[in-house]
Structure formats: C-alpha cells, structure tokens
Chain A
Amino acid sequence: MKMLFRLCLLFLLVSSAQAAEYKIETVAEGLSYPWAIAFLPDGDMLVTERSGQLRRITGGELQQEPIGDFPDLHVDGQGGLLDILPDSEFATNHRLYLSYSTGSKSANALRVISARLEGNKLGSITTLFTASLTKDTPHHFGGRLAFMPDSTLLITVGEGFDYREKAQSLDNHFGKLIRINKDGTVPADNPFVDREHALPEIWTWGHRNPQGLLVSADGTVWLHEHGPRGGDELNRIEPGKNYGWPAITHGVDYSGAYVSPFTEAEGMEQPVAYWTPSIAPSGFCEYQGDLFPQWQGNLFVAALAEKSVRRLVMENGKVKSQEIMFTELDQRIREVRAGPDGYLYLLTDSNEGKMLRISPAN
C-alpha cells in the first residue's frame, strides 16, 4: 500500500513537471488543411494550405488575401499545395521553392517550382521538376523539400499508392528521393547520372510515401515515410541506397495481406526506427533553439494518426528514447517546425486547421 502511494506520488510529480514544461498558444486558425510553414527573415511566416492557397502571417495576424496562383495546380485527395522552402538568400533574392500536385484526376504528378515573392504575388515562376510518370490516384505524392549544405535541393516523391513496384525501378521517379540544383539541372555527382535506364535526378530509392525530410545541423539527411498498416519508417539517408519498399517492409497491406513477407534483404537498407502500429508521420524538424535547452538536438516527428508529436532523443545515429507529446490537443498534426525564434510550431490537419506555437511555460 505504501509502495502504491509512493508510485502515485511519483507519477503526479512527473506529470506536473511535464505539464509545466510548455504552453500552447494559437497563432492562426481557420486554415484549410495547412501543410507546411516557411519562416521569412523579416519575421513573417508563410503557410501552405493543401486546398491551394499560400497564406501569410504578419505580426502574428493571418492575412486574409492569399498569395499568388500556381500553374496547373491539381487539388484532389492527398494532393494540392504541399511544401514551401525559402531560398537561403531569400533576404536578397525573395525566392521560394514550392511543391504541389499538378495535372488531372487521370494523370497527375508532383511538381516543384521556384518563384519570386513580389508583395502579394508570385513572379518569375520556373518549373524545376515534374515527376515522371503520371498516375491516376490522388494519393502518395511525397512532396517534402529540403536544402543540402551544398545548396542542392532534395525532393521526396511518393509511389502513387497503386504503383508501389515502381519504387524498385530507377526508370521513374515514384518512391524516390530526388536531388537537383536550384535551377532544376542535375548535379554531376548524383549517384545514377552515368547508369543506363536510370533517371539522373534520383538520389535514393525504395521509398513509399515520404512526408518528412530533414538535413540536420551535422549534415545528416533524415527521412521518414508512411508505411501501409504498420511499418512507418525513420531512415538515415545515404546517396544511391535502396530503402526497400515494397520488397521489404515491417508493415502489411491495408487489406491485411502481405506487401512482402520479408523485412530485410541484401542490398536494402534497414530503417533506424519503425512504428507499428502506424503513427502516420508527416512533418519533421530538428530543435536547435534556445528556449527549450532540454530539447537541443532532438528530432520532432508530427503524427497524423497518433494525433501527437514524437520527440526523438538521438545518440550515435540511433533513437535513444521517444516521448509522445501534445496528445492533449486531440488533433492530427501535419507539420512540426522549430522557428528561428526558438518556439516550436505545429500545424493541425483539418479544414479548420490551426497554427500553434509551443513556448516554455515560464
């Protein structure tokens, strides 16, 4: 009985310490399926809405007028306006990089453009990349963007749901991580530039639907991807490697049947971690701010199905421990980003989506 009392007391103390760690404030609401955040040097923020609008937040106020139009934008299912990334020299060139789905219901694909932000408009729009092949499903576009330290652009492309086998073939972009230069050309040191019947933009292959991409402060490239029923993966990315989907997987198909009976194979990479049952990871960041010193260097993974954010404590390239956070919101979390101001920002996934700011409780 005494032991039980002590355990209860300990639980209460831990709970109250965790509860006091942060507070959650709403920055913006009424967002239509917000997908990604970009922080601009002047303190403004841009938010993409999957339904096709780019919104600006100035001085903590969501501006009503959306920015720009997107050529041949196709909004359907999981497709629409997806990620956004400001150029590293945005302060001088005002250039943004955006991903979205383009085409039609019967023939759609992921596209990446660059555009100059001119007031409330987008100018000098250039198409940098359009995934080949087209597909007739509104699912699994991927669409996350990240810059490498050498200023090349990484792009995740999903395998289109009904086209999973294409992820194991280098003659198409489905289920691949792409690397291009900022002008859309192919870097000469990409791993498959000299291989016959391989598309030169491919950097890694064997992915399912990667919706988390991160180049960490030490230059490591991390990617997470949705599994089917189970088998969501956290992968440490190295160029030219095959990450196995659908030849190997820790998940099964939604129907209950195998996608593959194998979880490992020679020449195919194992995930650093996987989640079964699925948490549906989307959105990814590394915390390098000052406001939460205890989170320094931790990776944060937004989770749609689990309605949480996973805080990953890393050690020697492995996940040392995980904390499931923000479940009190009871919201699907689409995106988690560490702002330059040291706050953590979340986007909730709904037609009445919100941008939330996580700050220290004190």
Chain B
Amino acid sequence: MKLIKTMLYFIVAVLATFLLTSIVGTQLMLADILSFGLVVSLSDRVSATIHDIAGLATMLPILISVTFLLAFIIAESGRRITSGKRIYWYMAAGLTSLPASLTLIKTLMGGTVFAAARTGSGMLIIALCGLFGGWLFARLVNMGKPE
C-alpha cells in the first residue's frame, strides 16, 4: 500500500513538473516570437500552450520520470545517511536533476532536445520547475507523518 501511494505521489510530481515546464517553455518561445516583432494575442498564447502540452506529452514526461527516479533515489539515500530533512534533499534533487540530464543529452547528441533549455535563463527556469517537483513529491510523501 505504501509503495502504491509513493508511486502515485511520484506520478503526480512528474505530471505537475511536466505541465509547469511545458507552460514555461511555451511562454519563453512566445517571448522570442514577440522579440521578432510579431503580435501574439491571448488566444494565440492559450492555443500554443495547449498545443505544446499535447506535443510534449510523450517526450517530456518520460525524460522527467527517468530523471526524477534517479535523483530521488539519490536524495533518499542521502537523507538516510545524513538524517537531513527530506524536503530539502528532494528540492535539491529536483533543482539539479533536470539541468543535469538536459546537459548530458546535449553532450551526447550535440543539441538541446527541449528548446527552452538552450539559454542559461531558460535552464534556470527549468531547474526551478524541477525544484517545485521535488518539493511537491516530498510534501506528498511527508503528508501526515512527522519528519
């Protein structure tokens, strides 16, 4: 039962991070489009955001799942060894893991698979989305139990 609950919390954290990352990625893309002098209406923004959530729905959740799985295993191990607070370990894991895996993919493939990660500021925003995912997972796991 505990394992199923943890898996459920993990899926919720992955999906929330995916939605956040996808939405942020679309807004960064539209900021570039605005900088070219094009006009982006609210309906353009909403439809582009929905399009990207659907378009990324295969690649990005898989990337986040694999990344978070490895990162959270490391975070849990670290927490047990040092007896630190779970929430800080998982936030740190979430913050660092997505930039790490996107950088690894760029090193292996020579290009960035998720366009928002091409710039330092974009990567920072993605890292913050990961931080939120780590925080959410730790909060869900911690619900109703003392640290």
Contacts and interface: CB of A to CB of B under 8 A. Distances in A.
Interface string A250-277: 0011111111111001000000000000
A257 B29 contact: yes
Contact of A260 (B29, B57, B118): B29
Nearest to A167: B36
Interface in B69-106: 106
Nearest to A168: B36
Given A260-B33, A261-B48, A262-B33, A255 B110 contact: no
B25 interface: yes
A349 B79 CA distance: 52
Contacts, number: 71
B59 A256 contact: yes
Contact of A137 (B36, B57, B59, B110): B110
Interface string A226-247: 0000000000000000000011
A162 interface: yes
B36 A258 contact: no
A258 B50 CA distance: 10
B106 to A, nearest CB: 8
Contacts of B29: 257-260
Contacts of B56: 255-257
B19 to A, nearest CB: 13
B17 interface: no
Interface in A159-181: 161-165, 168
B67 interface: no
A41 B58 CA distance: 54
B111 A258 contact: no
A258 B51 contact: yes
A84 to B, nearest CB: 25
A139 interface: yes
Contact of B22 (A247, A257, A262): A257
A261 B52 CA distance: 10
Given A138-B110, A162-B118, A255 B59 contact: yes
A231 to B, nearest CB: 14
A255 B38 contact: no
A139 B111 contact: yes
A77 interface: yes
B115 interface: yes
Question: B-side binding surface: helix, strand, loop or mixed?
Answer: helix
B113 interface: yes
Interface in A122-144: 137-139
A262 B38 contact: yes
Given A257-B25, A261-B48, A262-B38, A162 B33 contact: no
B115 A253 contact: yes
A255 B36 contact: no
A162 B112 contact: yes
Nearest to A165: B32
Interface string B29-59: 1101101101010001001100110111111
A139 B110 contact: yes
Nearest to B32: A165
B55 A256 contact: yes
Contacts of A262: 33, 38
B114 interface: yes
Given A139-B111, A252-B55, A265-B38, A257 B33 contact: no
Interface of B: 22, 25-26, 29-30, 32-33, 35-36, 38, 40, 44, 47-48, 51-52, 54-60, 106, 110-115, 118
29 contacts: A138-B110, A139-B110, A161-B110, A162-B112, A162-B118, A165-B35, A246-B32, A247-B33, A247-B38, A254-B113, A255-B115, A256-B52, A256-B54, A256-B56, A256-B59, A257-B22, A257-B29, A257-B56, A257-B114, A258-B51, A258-B55, A259-B115, A260-B29, A261-B30, A261-B33, A261-B47, A261-B48, A262-B33, A265-B38
Interface of A: 76-77, 137-139, 161-165, 168, 246-247, 252-262, 265
The 10 closest A-B pairs by CB, nearest first: A256-B55, A247-B36, A257-B52, A261-B48, A138-B110, A161-B111, A162-B118, A257-B55, A168-B36, A77-B110
